[in-house]
Structure 1
């Protein structure tokens, strides 16, 4: 009878050596978005982009990352994880270069979509590789190193992005170029430092048909969300055509996934109670967190008139909240082996933070805005990684990639939907406010402009546009808080979870054979 030997446990030194390259990869993936976040209003403004295009510069990356994450996860179960990480780095580098050389907003949107394929690989594969090395119970011990990388990327990224666009001899294109040399260093560092223990691998073919159907269905819904209420009405033939076709495609995707030998979204895993509730919470938290945080840089620059550098400094409370809460709760999870209390607490804190931010307008005291961001960040730090950990705790090593890819997929999907929906709400509310204020001031309707390039507007119109953006931002945080409540309910419904101390699930105990006497 053949047996599968359990994976060899790595010692502390081996784990630290392997983590060095992975931490740099994590840094590259995180800084690619944090550097651009504060620079985005300047980028879209200089290219004469619209609010819808502003949203799609972010959405295109999230959409591509979302659609490809489950594919990367299943590939990690079947092929060399180290090689896959390096391939994702290569795609990320190429996408960064194309983004930096883009000449208009549509080109940046397309380039960022390509970059998102690499980002989807990096954000899923780093978590998968770490999970393959370190048992769930011990993973919190290493959160200090992860927290340090998060601190540098999240705190320095927005500030660096602001400095780049405020420096005349650099320009906004270096927001995309700056990650290239770091990614190249990470590529070669991984080659020499990452040595994974041998483990079980799945056999079969990746369900590319299912992945394609999911991507088409989700993309159709997001495109509809971006244009509904602006280009056509909510109740219109365009809405019916796009929504119905998306639902049909997603229904076909479910049928394909049910019959596939190796589905990219394993239905048998996500039907279990813990993964199902963790995925629902991740979906809600992703919608609230990504959707709300993306527009903070725009709030400070367009709504409050700060420079990109100043906006980077002003968003630090949210990043500090993420850093502190993730580091502290990581160690507490390792000590107790329990994860549900921190997920529930984090989801509640996130909602409280967004409720606080829902009261902001164009002249709210910065201390109040900072307190709301700090609470929202703390909630994110307590929930995001612990929800992934809860799902990984239920998966066997051979299915670890698919399980991690599934929860990351739904979190990214939530973020993508959140950015699209909240961006559409913001654009419509800003448009209505600007038109009413222009009419009250006796200015023509076209004086508010159609882009984010405020410098091209007369001073009176600039003031109206800034006030409209500042006041409308609070409304989208109220919507984010309502979405976050779903995450709270899902977290409360989770059963008690005790993290295992082994990399793989324990082998089932064979039943004793009955011997006839």
Structure 2
């Protein structure tokens, strides 16, 4: 299908925003020591790093509802403007509180962007074609996540404030395209007056998820996992989240409609989203540690060594989306992706300080195939059994699930990593090095490996071989757990049903002036639901197809 210049302009803006929002998740990691040294905040480093993720996570269902109530254009403009504003505040910060505030505003904007980018992409092309365009968009987000530590390290050496200021011109260009080129249809005003925001639901959801994330972020770092300061917010968050889902079954305007999870294909695809996010985040978080702590490279060099994973993820995401568009089949891609992830994680356990460049390059490419192929194929599978009227709510739920999976990927993998480090610290004969890696200090200490080895004149002189052995043991357990999670994902695929992906675009929020958009159809073709609110299958020719 040939698309107009306006279509490609809007899509390019989406890719830019996907890149810059993903970049800000990982770019702060390598620059954080430099930033806290300049403005203070060594004791608040955990919130400088995580306020962005927490803020972006809790607002996503809200933006899904806003997209239905106000149309796509205005929420996208507002979220991009908030992200840009937060970048300016962060770049101009002169104390930790101001920096955390800037990161929080950025996170709220990014949360809206995560949801709206996928929704707008869904409005541009029919379901059968979405994988191809989502693959292109996700590939830029994956590239940004992988390049973040490298870019952060380079900018930290020059001027760390440009880590934030860099976002402003990029967002300005993308925002100008959205304002000038994106003209979207809105629902009938008489209909929107009867649909309000789920205020009660959001009043339950936001503090519950915030409490849960606070417990996850602080656990094992600021406070032990056994501390009441960790347990209480976790318990309150879980209880609040359960109450939220109960409330959603009774409200007339749910922000996360229960019908999204009442068919096995969509429910399974949501679970696969959580699982795949766990796997990719564990790899993004701990592969650089292998290069820094085991191989003894610099932080910047570890980022360069990580490029095969970054470039591979970009390439395979595009390939996965293209395969979906050509074949119209998502189940084989899901199963194949998890099989590749399981194989890659198993082979990662062979990595040590003597592994050759060729070997770790090939293994990274294998891992990137596992996580890249599935990236653009999950959302179409979720939507296959749902009507187009559920695009916004299902996308918001998908985006939240993906982000929440990232949090769990870091949290669970970190708990395992730190526990194995502590259990094996006795193998390090140097008491100073042993103290540095113990007590959850191993992750941050890895970045100092190259300097310690260089200053001591070699690995043997400083006893780093013993340290590297402990790191290798801890990483191996992380890889084994990731392998297990991959196998669970592969087995879960059997619960999905093969559904035909719609080839026609039917949306009341189409983008005017693009060849991908069509006028909304009326009646059953525009919004097909059974009386219970559960969709029994994909919509085709005005009929509900069986699952």
Q: Provide the TM-score with structure 2 as the length reference.
A: 0.79
Unmatched segments (≥5 aa) in structure 1:
1-8, 512-517
1:127 CA displacement:
0.8
Q: Trace 1:409-448 onto structure 2 (pairs within 5 A).
A: 409-434=400-425, 436-437=426-427, 440-441=429-430, 443=432, 446=435
Partner Cα distance (2:206, 2:350) in 1 = 36
Query: Over residues 414-467 of structure 1, what are the superposed CA-to-partner deviations in whole Å (9 max), with x where a residue is unaligned?
Result: 111221222233334334544x245x3355965669664749989548776666
Alignment root-mean-square deviation, CA = 3.6
Alpha-carbon shift at residue 79 of structure 1 (Å): 0.8
| Gapped regions of structure 2 (runs ≥ 5) | 457-461, 507-523, 529-540
* Other-structure match for 1:475: 477
> Hey, what's the Cα distance between the residues in 2 that align with 1:422 and 1:183?
33
Cα pair distance change 1:163/1:229, threshold 3 Å:
closer
Pairing partner for 2:196 from 205, 226, 245: 205
Higher relative contact order (CA 8 A, sep 6+): 1
Contact (CA 8 Å) 2:385, 2:499: kept in 1 or not?
no
What is the total number of aligned residue pairs between the two structures?
497
The answer to whether the aligner puts 1:87 opposite 2:106 as a matched pair is no
Residue 395 of structure 1: SS of its match in structure 2? Answer: coil
Cα 1:348–1:48 change in 2 (3 A) is farther
Alignment check: 8 A CA contact 1:360 1:471 kept:
no
Shift in alpha-carbon separation, 1:478–1:61, aligned structure 2, 3 A:
farther
Pair 1:13–1:379, CA change in 2 (3 A)? same
Is the contact made by 1:61 and 1:113 (CA closer than 8 Å) also made in structure 2?
yes
Q: Which whole-Å CA distance do the structure 1 matches of 2:109 and 2:497 have between them?
A: 35
Q: Is the 8 A contact 1:274 1:390 kept in 2?
A: yes
Q: CA deviation at 1:237?
A: 5.3
Q: In 2, Cα distance between the equivalents of 1:144 and 1:418? A: 22
- Higher mean alpha-carbon deviation, 466-475 vs 345-354, is at 466-475
Give the alignment partner of residue 351 of structure 2, picking from 341, 353, 360. Answer: 360
User: Which deviates more from structure 2 when the two are superposed, residues 346-355 or residues 223-232?
Assistant: 223-232
C-alpha distance in 1, partners of 2:39/2:359? 33
Other-structure match for 2:7: 15
Contact 1:92-1:118 within 8 A present in 2 as well: yes
Contact 1:291/1:422 (CA < 8 Å) preserved in 2?
yes
Residues 1:110 and 1:358: Cα distance change in structure 2 (over 3 Å): farther
Map of 1:263 onto structure 2: 254
> Is the CA contact 2:131–2:376 (under 8 Å) kept in the aligned structure 1?
no
Residues 2-40 of structure 1: CA deviation (Å, up to 9, x unaligned): xxxxxxx99544422332322222232233335445545
The 1:220–1:462 alpha-carbon spacing in structure 2 relative to 1, beyond 3 Å, is farther
CA spacing shift, 1:24–1:228, aligned 2, 3 Å: closer
TM-score, structure 1 as length reference: 0.83
Cα distance in structure 2, aligned partners of 1:261 and 1:269: 15
| Aligned partners of 2:70 and 2:186 also within 8 Å | no
Distance, in Å, in 1 between the alignment partners of 2:463 and 2:100 is 28
1:351 aligns with 2:352: no
Equivalent in the alignment of 1:65: 56
Question: Is the CA contact (8 Å cut-off) linking 2:121 and 2:133 kept in structure 1?
Answer: no
Give 1:227 deviation, angstroms.
4.7
Local SS of the residue matching 2:498: coil
Cα distance in 2 for partners of 1:233, 1:30 equals: 30
